[in-house]
Amino acid sequence: MAAKKTTINTLLSSDMSNDTTAHHSPTSLHDSARGSPEPPLDSFHTLVQAINKILGPCNGIDSAGVDVEELKSAMRAFDGPDEEWQKYAFQDYSRPYTRNLVDRGNGKSNLLILVWTPGKASPIHDHANAHCVMRILKGSLTETIYGWPCEGADGLTDCATSPTHPTGHTCSAEPEQLEPHALCNANTEEVAVSLHLYTPPNAARHGCHIFDQRTGKKSKVQQCHFYSELGVKME
C-alpha cells in the first residue's frame, strides 16, 4: 500500500505541475503569434528589390512610366561586397561564360549574373529587340561593338570599336541600337562577373541572333537554358 500511495502522490504532483504550465499566461496576447523577424535585405537584394519597384507590377522597361536612367542609377549605386551575389555566380571553365538567373522580376524582365571564363568571349550577338542594362561586378569586360551595316566594309570587324568596361561600370543598350556586339574577358588569369537586366526577356523566350565575324551572316540560336536559376545549378 505504501508503494501504491507513493505512486499516486507522484502522479498528482506531476499533474499539478503540468496544470500550472498549461495555465501560464504569456506576457503579451501576441507573444504566441509573434514569429522571428526577417533579417534585413543586404545591398544586392535591396538592388533587386529596387529594380522590381522601378519596373512596376505591370510595366516593361519600354513603357512611358519607366526611366532607363533610373535603372542605371540604381545599378551604379550598388556597392555591396562580392559575398552578397556569389551564391548566383556559378562558373564553368568548359564554356566561355555561364548565364545564371537571379530574378524573373515582374514577368517582363530577367536579371542575370554572367560569369566569364578567363580569356574567353561571347559570340557576336544581338539582344533580340530588348533593352539591356549591364553592370560589371568583378574584373573587366571588353565590349566590341560592330557598326552593322556599314558602307564599304568587307566584314563586321572593319567597323568595330572596343571599349573596355572596368568593375563598377554601368551601361545600357536600347532595341533601336541595332549594332551587334560581343563581350570578352581579356584577363587570362581571373574570372569576370557582370550583372545584366534584359527586358522584355526576348532572348530567353525566343532566342537571339549570332553573327559570323568574317561575313556578317546571322543565324538564330536559343537562349532558353540557364546554367543556374535562383542560386540552384540546373541539371
* CATH number for position 183: 2.60.120.10
Work out whether strand 228-229 and strand 97-103 pair parallel, antiparallel, or are unpaired: parallel
Q: How many domains does the chain have?
A: 1
Please give the model's pTM, rounded to 2 decimal places: 0.76
Task: For residue 188, tell me if it sits in a domain.
Answer: yes
> What count of residues does the chain have?
235
Within a domain: 210 = yes
In a domain, 74, yes or no: no
Query: Is 219 contained in some domain?
Result: yes
Q: Residue 129's closest CA among 183, 196, 178? A: 178
Would you say 23 is a known binding-site residue? no
Q: Is position 78 within any domain? A: no
Does residue 14 sit within a domain? Answer: no
pLDDT digits (tens, 9 = 90+) for 103-149: 998 778 899 999 999 999 999 887 767 788 999 999 999 998 887 55
Which of the pair, 173 or 27, is modelled with greater confidence? 173
The verdict on residue 58 lying in a domain is no
Is 30 annotated in a binding site? The answer is no
Give the structural domain span for 100.
Answer: 88-233
Element (H, E) at 145: strand 141-146
Residue 174 in contact with residue 131, Cβ under 8 Å? yes
113 in any annotated domain: yes
Q: What is the pLDDT of residue 63?
A: 57
Do the beta carbons of residue 100 and residue 115 sit within 8 Å? yes
Is 127 known to sit in a ligand binding site?
Answer: yes
